[in-house]
């Protein structure tokens, strides 16, 4: 799960971006902000997902060859059953989608894996999404065929060979569902890295958004408190990074019951990480005054 430090760094970055002159409305900023902030983590997740999919594909080729051979015999059999036209159509659709699956995977494998460019990372994520969507469509087509055989009991035996091949291929798709949504399969230990990475990205956003929303809800009171402490205070006169850090720490001291010493120490670390050479001293001085009069400020 994301650390307290990681969450607060994200909050400061968001408050900074949302508070720049001419900046976007916080609600409109959220999606592009998180796309940017989690880009590196999402790329690592994409690569781990791709490696797992690539491993699954190794076992698919032999099953696909077997299916293609058995499909020929099945088509010859079904040619003598005009009333089973739906089965022929479904089987043909499966073959088309199986071929398409291989094409989509080949395109994905040709994409750069080590380029840090954001556009490349976005393309890689989109290509994975296309493969998962194609695989879901393929799984649905297989199910239609297998269920359709139930309408023709006398064909179950003759079509068992091709049906067995389809079920063997479906087992790979079942595994693909686990890779696509690992959080639904906590018992799969080998997917723990993908599952944990995905959960951490989601939890970081959830907890940071909750903290941002709380700060924005108290922003007026927070700024009033800062105005009582900072001489000639006006938000635009304070460095935007320092302003974001002060708003976060002031909210935590007055409204979140965070121990003042903890809030101040974390704010100092944030000022070292994001601020100027003067930020540490300035932030420390302001927050010391707020902490010293915290009870008074709460009662105002």
Per residue in 247-293, pLDDT tens? 999 999 999 888 999 999 999 999 999 998 889 999 999 999 999 98
Report the distance separating Cα 101 and Cα 157, nearest Å: 28
Domain containing residue 267 = 4-27+200-299
Are 240 and 268 a contacting pair, CB within 8 Å?
no
Residue 15 lies in a domain: yes
User: Which of 145, 64, 131 has the alpha carbon at shortest distance from 103?
Assistant: 131
**Burial degree of 136 (CB within 10 A; 0-12, 13-18, 19+):** middle
Residues 280 and 241 occupy one common structural domain = yes
pLDDT computed for residue 117 by the predictor: 61
C-alpha distance across the termini of the chain, in Å: 37
> Where a domain ends, among 121, 150, 180?
180
Residues 283 and 232 occupy one common structural domain = yes
Residues 231 and 279 occupy one common structural domain = yes
Residues 240 and 162 occupy one common structural domain = no
Residues 8 and 65 occupy one common structural domain = no
Residues 239 and 128 occupy one common structural domain = no
3-class secondary structure for 99-139? Answer: HHHHHHHHHHHHCCCCCCCHHHHHHHHHHHHHHHHHHHHHH
- Reported confidence tier of residue 239, pLDDT bands at 50, 70, 90: confident
Report the distance separating Cα 72 and Cα 225, nearest Å: 79
Residue 256 lies in a domain: yes
> Where a domain ends, among 127, 148, 180?
180
Per residue in 206-219, pLDDT tens? 999 999 999 999 99
pLDDT computed for residue 6 by the predictor: 93
Per residue in 122-162, pLDDT tens? 788 889 999 999 999 999 999 999 999 999 999 999 999 99
Residue 188 lies in a domain: no
Query: Is residue 270 helix, strand or coil?
Result: helix
Residue 236 lies in a domain: yes
Per the structure, how many domains does the chain have?
A: 2
Residues 93 and 224 occupy one common structural domain = no
Residue 195 lies in a domain: no
Higher-confidence residue: 28 or 65?
Answer: 65
Residue 83 lies in a domain: yes
pLDDT computed for residue 113 by the predictor: 72
Residue 69 has pLDDT above 60, yes or no: yes
Q: Considering the chain, what is the average pLDDT of its residues?
A: 90
Per residue in 151-208, pLDDT tens? 999 999 999 999 999 999 999 999 999 999 999 999 999 999 899 999 999 999 999 9
């Amino acid at each position: 799960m994301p650390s307290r430090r990681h969450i607060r760094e994200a909050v400061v970055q968001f408050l900074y971006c949302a508070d720049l002159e001419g900046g976007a409305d916080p609600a409109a900023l959220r999606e592009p902000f998180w796309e940017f902030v989690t880009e590196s983590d999402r790329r690592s997740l994409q690569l781990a997902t791709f490696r797992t999919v690539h491993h699954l594909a190794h076992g698919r080729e032999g099953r696909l060859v077997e299916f293609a051979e058995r499909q020929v015999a099945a088509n010859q059999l079904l040619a003598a059953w005009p009333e089973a036209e739906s089965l022929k159509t479904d089987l043909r659709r499966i073959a088309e989608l199986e071929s398409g699956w291989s094409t989509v995977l080949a395109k994905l494998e040709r994409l750069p894996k080590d380029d840090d460019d954001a556009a490349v990372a976005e393309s890689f994520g989109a290509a994975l999404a296309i493969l998962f969507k194609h695989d879901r469509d393929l799984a649905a087509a297989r199910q239609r065929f297998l269920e359709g055989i139930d309408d023709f009991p006398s064909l179950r035996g003759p079509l068992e060979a091709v049906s067995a091949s389809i079920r063997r291929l479906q087992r790979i798709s079942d595994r693909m569902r686990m890779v696509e949504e690992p959080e639904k399969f906590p018992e799969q230990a080998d997917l723990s890295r993908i599952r944990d990475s995905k959960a951490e990205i989601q939890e970081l956003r959830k907890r940071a958004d909750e903290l941002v929303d709380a700060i924005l809800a108290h922003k007026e009171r927070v700024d009033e408190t800062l105005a009582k402490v900072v001489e000639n205070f006006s938000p635009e006169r304070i460095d935007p990074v320092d302003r974001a850090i002060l708003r976060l720490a002031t909210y935590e001291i007055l409204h979140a019951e965070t121990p003042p010493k903890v809030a101040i120490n974390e704010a100092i670390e944030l000022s070292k990480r994001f601020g100027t050479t003067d930020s540490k001293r300035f932030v420390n001085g302001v927050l010391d005054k707020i902490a010293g009069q915290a009870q008074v400020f709460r009662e105002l």
